[in-house]
Amino acid sequence: MPDRLSTASAPAAGIAFAAIVTTDLVGEMRDRHDLSPLATAAVGRLTSGAVLLAAGLKGRERISLQIASDGPIGGLAADAWLLNEHTIGVRGYTRNPRVDLPLNECGKFDVAAALGSGSLHVMKTHDVGRPYTGVVPLHTAEIAEDIATYLTRSEQIPSAVALGVLAGPSGVVAAGGLVVQALPGADESAVAELERRARALPPVTQLVSGGADADALIREIAGDLALREHRSLGVAFACLCSREKVESALIGLGTEDLQRMASERERTKASCEYCGHQYDFSSEELLDLSSRVG
């Protein structure tokens, strides 16, 4: 199944749905960052969560998720935005791409132990005005529940979130996710029925590896609710880095560091932590940047 985000609602019941397939995206991030299977699960869940939260984005808006925590993975980040009217661009990284721990007692990647305790930060950047930021302490540190807590507490929309990444030593087999939200005035019996269906639902990765696309994931959870389809968008790995941004970061190091780097070697490489692209600077260029330190 190609990567895709779909959204729909059940207007009579007051329920909104969004679902994603992100197998190719998570596979690309695994390859770009040489992620261990555990890091693939963690980065894959957070970036898939960013795509789910990007379902309502317009224009140049952007959603950024960051987890700051004390576990061995050392932090995670993901951004999602509209590349164009048909496609969501997304990127993500972790500080420790090779993190490895034993499977948990359910036989799954122990993302909670990799993260430890900390907090999830969600930032929405709008075209105009200040960005909106919400922070929730990590609850289960399995990421899906933490995003649900953020939506329910910070955005005041009762939400259930499922995220799954099935990764092995040879690659990503399936990845995807689902969010169900009770809108104001939602029909309580419909919400109770959805909770029952959610508990009985097979894991998202099982549905995706069985051939389900994003629309099928929504139908799977919605049962016989009458649905109105909304958006259907492609999902693609992308980055926002540029030579200018790397130059600003280098200028931020200060005159002393730049002059030292310029004297130590003829060429300095600075790589983007999100996409791995390497930007190359000569010592003359570094000296020129040091003259621009304000």
Name the minimum Å distance from CB 95 to Zn ion.
16
Among 257, 243, 244, smallest CA distance to 293 is for: 257
Query: Rounded to an integer, what distance in angstroms lies between the CA atom of residue 47 and that of residue 274?
Result: 12
Half-sphere exposure of 113 (CA within 13 A, CB side): 11
Of the two residues 237 and 274, which places its CB atom closer to Zn ion in the complex?
274
End-to-end CA distance of the chain: 50
Of the two residues 46 and 272, which places its CB atom closer to Zn ion in the complex?
272
Name the minimum Å distance from CB 80 to Zn ion.
15
270 beta partners: 279
Of the two residues 228 and 245, which places its CB atom closer to Zn ion in the complex?
245
Name the minimum Å distance from CB 276 to Zn ion.
7
Of the two residues 32 and 45, which places its CB atom closer to Zn ion in the complex?
32
Of the two residues 87 and 259, which places its CB atom closer to Zn ion in the complex?
87
Amino acid at 272: C
Of the two residues 74 and 276, which places its CB atom closer to Zn ion in the complex?
276
CA distances (Å), origin 284, targets 26, 266, 276, 290: 39, 8, 24, 10
Of the two residues 89 and 164, which places its CB atom closer to Zn ion in the complex?
89
Q: Is 278 exposed, middle or buried (0-12, 13-18, 19+ CB in 10 A)?
A: exposed
> Helix, strand, coil proportions of the chain in percent (round to 5)?
35, 30, 35
Query: Rounded to an integer, what distance in angstroms lies between the CA atom of residue 128 and that of residue 52?
Result: 23
Name the minimum Å distance from CB 273 to Zn ion.
8
Is the separation of the CB atoms in 87 and 81 below 8 Å? no
Name the minimum Å distance from CB 82 to Zn ion.
18
String of DSSP letters for 139-206 = SSSSSHHHHHHHHHHTS---EEEEEEEEEETTEEEEEEEEEEEE-TT--HHHHHHHHHHHHHSPPHHH
The residue count of the chain comes to 294
Name the minimum Å distance from CB 258 to Zn ion.
21
Name the minimum Å distance from CB 46 to Zn ion.
17
Of the two residues 146 and 247, which places its CB atom closer to Zn ion in the complex?
247
User: Site residues (CB under 5 A) for Zn ion?
Assistant: 239, 241, 272, 274-275, 277
Q: Which two tokens stand for residue 47?
A: 């970036």
Name the minimum Å distance from CB 271 to Zn ion.
8
